[in-house]
Amino acid sequence: MNTAESQILELRITGEVNGQPLSPETASMEMIVALVNETKDFILGSVGSTAEREQFLREVHFEIKAGSVKPHITIPAFLTTSAIAMSLASDIKTLSSGSLDIDAGRSKVIQNMTKRLQRNEISAFAIEGTDLDGKPLNVVIDKNTRLTKPRPVLVNVEEYVKVEIKNMGGISPNVHLKFEDGSTVIASATEAYLKSLDKNYLYKEVIAHITYNQNPQTNQKSDYRLLGITEPPATFDWEAFDRAVEAGTKLWEDVPAPVAWVRETRGVYDA
């Protein structure tokens, strides 16, 4: 595409409201606001810094045209080489191939549109325009569309955290861990380990040795496992512990799988 040209995209949403074609005149204010927000989220994705995203929104021209509900987006020429515009073009091309292997923010919008399709709020969601090479784009998503989403590559994380034990036991042995931010997770445990504990840690603050799987794209955590519980001494310095955890986390943030990296680096030796 000639970088002197603007990029124009049209997101067309079709459907019916009380037997009438969906349009700016027939759509409810709630739906218009929701679709405008989802259009913004789709355009931006989760790309760029706050300043870059704010600039993009200031410079991109947006209007809803008559007919179906058609958000019309014009990306100025000087922004077509930005990370946001290039990521958007790449993701639209990926969608046109039938894959949902796109930016997490845009994927969420597509999933919301799919739910609207299932609830018969809309009949189709289309993207038309040109890519960065000037080639035409035409993506249509309706009830018959089946987008494939690759399984995320999860990273196994192992760490020590300060928690309060809220519950222990169960038919499938587990421990309910409450974090400092108030969130609670259920970590699986072994019956043998829980029986081996010589103290009752229920409703006590402890250091929990845990592992979990984390999606590096969404930061979603799952499959918590409890490896051990340590009761801190009476003089335990929680603030120093938190500072050490924060510092250690920053040192390892560029290594996607620290445990695997350490094992690979040092090698595995038989005792």
Q: How confident is the model at residue 83 (pLDDT cuts 50, 70, 90)?
A: confident
Who wins on pLDDT, 120 or 251?
Answer: 120
The DSSP annotation for 218-243 comes to T--EEEEEEEEEEPPPTT--HHHHHH
Classify domain 155-264 by CATH number: 2.40.50.500
Amino acid residing at 261: W
Give residue for tokens 């081996």: 196
Question: Which of 106, 223, 101, 209 has the alpha carbon at shortest distance from 154?
Answer: 223
pLDDT at 166: 94
CA distance 57 to 54: 5
Under 8 Å between Cβ of 76 and 60: yes
pLDDT, tens digit, 9 for 90 and up, residues 178-190: 998 999 999 999 9
Which residue intervals of the chain bear CATH 2.40.50.500? 155-264
Least confident of 69-83, 109-123, 148-162, 223-237: 69-83
pLDDT at 104: 85
Under 8 Å between Cβ of 7 and 74: yes
Q: How confident is the model at residue 266 (pLDDT cuts 50, 70, 90)?
A: low
pLDDT at 216: 81
> Does residue 57 have a pLDDT over 80?
yes
Question: Which of 133, 26, 40, 110 has the alpha carbon at shortest distance from 69?
Answer: 26
Dihedral sign (CA 30, 107, 136, 40): positive
pLDDT at 68: 62
pLDDT, tens digit, 9 for 90 and up, residues 100-148: 889 888 999 998 888 888 888 888 888 887 766 777 778 888 888 888 8
Average pLDDT over residues 141-162: 86
CA distance 11 to 117: 15
pLDDT at 257: 67
